[in-house]
Structures are given as C-alpha cells and as structure tokens.
Amino acid sequence: MEPYRRPIEELPGDPRRLSLEYSLREPLSGRDDSAAPDEWTVSVRVERIRNRTVGGVVGSLTLYRLRQDERFGPHPWAGAEQYDPELFHTVLGCYDLGKGGYRQEFRDTVTSPDGDLLALTHVRLDPEWRGFGLGPVLASQALWTLAGGCGAVAVDLREAGLTALCEALGFRRRPRPLGHLLDPASEAARDAREEQRRRYDALVDAWRAAHGG
C-alpha cells in the first residue's frame, strides 16, 4: 500500500472514532408520482474523547438517487433538472432524452441496467483529516450503503478534487456520452471496495502503533 502523505502522528484522532450519519431530504408533494430525486447527505462525524479530539462533523458527501420506476415516469432526469443543475449535467448522458429510460449505451455497459441511478456530486473532508487515505475509505462505505438496488453510480469529474478519489473507488470512464460510472455488480468495483477496507484496517493499525495501542 502507498505511504500516507502526512506522518501518522498528525492524524487528529483515532480513525475508529469516525462514523457516518445518513440524512434523507425529500420535498413535500401532494402526488404519488413526484419525480424529485432522493437527496442524501452523509455527514462524517468524529466522537470527542478525553478532550483530545474535537468532536463534531469533519466532512460530508452529497448523493442523489434517481428512481427508475414506472410510478415516477420514464424521465427521471426531468426532476433532476428542476432540482439541481449540477446533478442534471452529471446524469444526463445516461438517459435517452427522446424515448425515456436509459440509453442503450448505458444498458450495454452496466451489469444490472434496470436499477436506479445514484449520483455523487460533492465530497468534503476537513484539511486536518486529509493525507491519510480517509477520503476514499469514507466515500466507499457511503456509496455501498446507498447503492443497493442501483444499476450504477455516476459522478462528474469536473467537480474539483474528485478524480483521484473516484479512481480509487472503482469508477471507470465509459463510452460517450456516459461519462464516469461505477458498476456495483462488477468485480472491479467489489475489488475496490475490499481495497478500501484493507486501507482502513491498515490506518487503524498504524494509529495504534503510533499511540501505543
């Protein structure tokens, strides 16, 4: 495994004190067929211990789930366009704007093309916690927690700082106009998930070694 970019002694707290908190935001609607995507905010929290670690939120991720379900019509991107312009541009290449549903290129590329589409739009981690490989570790757990029933995860790599992180998570460039997608059912995605688990275990071991267990 690659060495950390910063000395382990500079890690501000025990990585075992980190946790993810999931919050779902849904717009109020009087209809059963609302096309608005599910907006998930995943907060990275650290537990305060013995006054040595500053507790609270030290990072966050924002993800949207676009439901591929006949109850919500064949044009889930329509809700995305009204909801968030950046989200719209992230997922636009996956959908057939004329016939509705996914493009044939999408169906030919992913293992389970009838699932929902999850989109990752924002990732943030406080500077004190960077340089130890925690970004991909935390993002990997969040993605796999929310990706159940999804055929793919989309990302817009024009968002600053996401390229290296998404490569570590198993995102791959797909044929135009699909952009970068993660196929949760692929062996490469599962391998990337296991790699991030190993990196977390290694970070915990390094922290314990540096602080006497």
Q: Consecutive sets of 10 residues in the chain, 213 residues long: mean pLDDT of each? A: 84 94 82 73 87 78 84 60 76 85 93 93 94 96 97 84 89 91 96 97 95 79
Give the residue extent of every domain in the chain.
Answer: 8-210
In terms of pTM, does the model score above 0.85? yes
Report whether the peptide linkage leading into residue 127 is cis, meaning its omega lies within 30 degrees of zero: no
CB 15 within 8 A of CB 208: no
Q: How far is CA 1 from the centre of its chain?
A: 22
CA 201/CA 206 separation, integer angstroms: 9
Is 22:145 a contact under the CB 8 Å cutoff? Answer: yes
pLDDT on residue 36 = 76
Fold of 8-210: Aminopeptidase (3.40.630)
C-beta separation of 153 from 120 below 8 A: yes
pLDDT the model gives residue 146: 98
pLDDT score for 87:
83
Contact indicator for 187, 193 with CB cutoff of 8 Å: no
- Going by C-alpha positions, the residue among 209, 53, 204 that lies closest to residue 196 is 204
